[in-house]
């Protein structure tokens, strides 16, 4: 079992597929054994995205595996979950989503100091194939420079 203080579940695909314009930290409404699965590190944010329904922000595509020691009352792994943000932030996001080509994706899940599950969501614009290649080149160059700097220290 993972040390629950160090839970840091990332969506590495999101930073590759999208250009992140702005980030928000949102609480997550969980039921049953979901928090125990998150503390065990059994969650995935791959292919997760957010949408508005009746003025509330929901996230779809988050997979929180069933808890190993759960009974028949175990949770549904891939259900939509409500996100908790300030009304001001929700209004801002909703206005910005009116622009063409913008979406909200889940970037990272962690546990707060008080033990609550939080998700970092990002307002994002999709990257084209040539942008992705440029992103990979930049990362490789940065890695090479870091390696060279480490050698000279």
What is the value of pTM for the model shown?
0.80
Q: What is the mean pLDDT of the chain?
A: 87
C-alpha dihedral, 1 to 81 to 110 to 73, nearest 10°: -20
User: Domain spans of the chain?
Assistant: 4-128
Pair of tokens at residue 38: 């998150």
E strands, 34-141, are: 43-44, 49-53, 56-60, 63-64, 81-84, 102-111, 117-126
Distance, C-alpha 45 to centroid of its chain: 5
> Which fold, 4-128?
Small Protein B; Chain: A; (2.40.280)
The helix/strand/coil state of 1 is coil
Residue 122, pLDDT > 50, answer yes
What mean pLDDT comes out for the span 91-98? Answer: 91
Distance, C-alpha 67 to centroid of its chain: 20
Q: pLDDT tens digits for 40-49?
A: 888 899 889 9
Q: pLDDT tens digits for 73-91?
A: 778 788 899 999 999 999 9
């Amino acid at each position: 079992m993972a040390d629950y203080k160090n839970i840091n579940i990332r969506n590495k695909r999101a930073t590759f597929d999208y250009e992140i314009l702005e980030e928000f930290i949102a609480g997550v409404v969980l039921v049953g054994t979901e928090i125990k699965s998150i503390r065990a590190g059994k969650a995935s944010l791959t292919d997760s995205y957010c949408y508005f329904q009746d003025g509330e922000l929901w996230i779809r595509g988050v997979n929180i595996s069933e808890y190993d020691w759960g009974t028949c009352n175990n949770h549904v792994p891939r259900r939509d979950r409500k996100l908790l943000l300030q009304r001001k932030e929700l209004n801002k996001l909703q206005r910005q989503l009116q622009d063409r080509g913008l979406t909200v994706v889940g970037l990272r899940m962690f546990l707060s100091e008080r033990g609550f599950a939080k998700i970092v969501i990002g307002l994002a614009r999709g990257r084209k194939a040539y942008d992705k290649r440029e992103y990979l080149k930049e990362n490789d160059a940065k890695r090479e420079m870091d390696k060279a700097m480490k050698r000279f220290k």
